[in-house]
Amino acid sequence: MTTVTRRTQKQRREEAEAALLGAAVELVDEQGVSALTLARVGERAGYSRGLVTHYFGSKQALVERLAQTAQAGFVPGLDGLPPGLDRLLRLIDGYVGELGRMGALNRVFLTLWTEAATTPELTELFRRRDKAFHDDLCEDLTAGIADGTIRADVNPRLTAIALVAQLCGIGLQRLVDPARVDTELLRRQITGHWTRALARS
């Protein structure tokens, strides 16, 4: 006798959302944000446009969810670490390392970030996400200055801007010319550079 395990409503919803997000990732990865419509996402995932609208409401909400999904947990192993120089250096090293594993979700996040410069509906979203990233870096820098591991003359705000610019720039180079950017060599060089630039001797 075969036992059929019936999925709960929550399981069905989670599976449908995962399929829809997966379809959205594929579309953006293949053709950019302009190709993303609720109808095309539904068609790619095998669902109706009405279901996509029911779960996400609008293209804007879907894009926001895509960005959140791509960025969440981008650098593993940081949860629980206290703010400071050690966590900052682990973040830098881990971020560049993850850029070396350029999967579809990473490419989509970088594509969205790039298109935010010229796409009004993405600009505010990425302004908020960039601010959150800057604030997190500033927290590490400020904590390191307070505990004496980072030099007192370091400006947390300006340093955070420089860090984000460098990490974003490496990501964009990986997106355009992945074969030329050796992230394993880069991560050691960049982590070493920021150790020497920030650490109190």
* Domain span holding position 48: 9-64
In terms of domains, do 38 and 113 share one?
Answer: no
| Rama region for 37: left / alpha / beta (φ>0; ψ in -120 to 50; rest) | beta
Q: How many CB atoms lie within 10 A of CB 195?
A: 13
Highest average pLDDT, of 4-8, 55-59, 82-86, comes from: 82-86
Q: What is the mean pLDDT of residues 103-132?
A: 84
Per mean pLDDT, which range of 94-98, 109-113, 162-166, 186-190 is the poorest? 109-113
Q: Looking at the predicted structure, is the pLDDT value of residue 173 above 70?
A: yes
User: What totals of helices (H) and strands (E) does the chain contain, helices first?
Assistant: 9, 0
Q: Look at the pTM and tell me if it is higher than 0.85.
A: no
94 and 50 housed in the same domain: no
- What is the share, in percent, of the chain residues with pLDDT greater than 90? 42
Q: What is the overall mean pLDDT for the chain?
A: 88
Q: What integer pLDDT is reported at residue 198 of this predicted model?
A: 97
Residue 3's pLDDT is: 56
> Is 87:93 a contact under the CB 8 Å cutoff?
no
Looking at the structure, do residues 162 and 112 belong to the same domain, yes or no?
yes
pLDDT digits (tens, 9 = 90+) for 148-168: 999 999 999 999 999 999 998
Number of structural domains the chain divides into: 2
DSSP at 101: S
Q: Residue 98 pLDDT more than 80?
A: yes
Q: Is residue 2 part of a domain?
A: no
CATH of the domain at 27: 1.10.10.60
59-76 pLDDT per residue, tens: 888 888 888 887 765 777
pLDDT tens string 81-91? 999 999 999 99
Instruction: Say how far apart CA 183 and CA 170 lie, in whole Å.
Output: 9
pLDDT at residue 43, rounded to an integer? 92
How many angstroms separate the Cα of 159 from the Cα of each of 6, 105, 138, 163, 199? 53, 27, 8, 6, 13
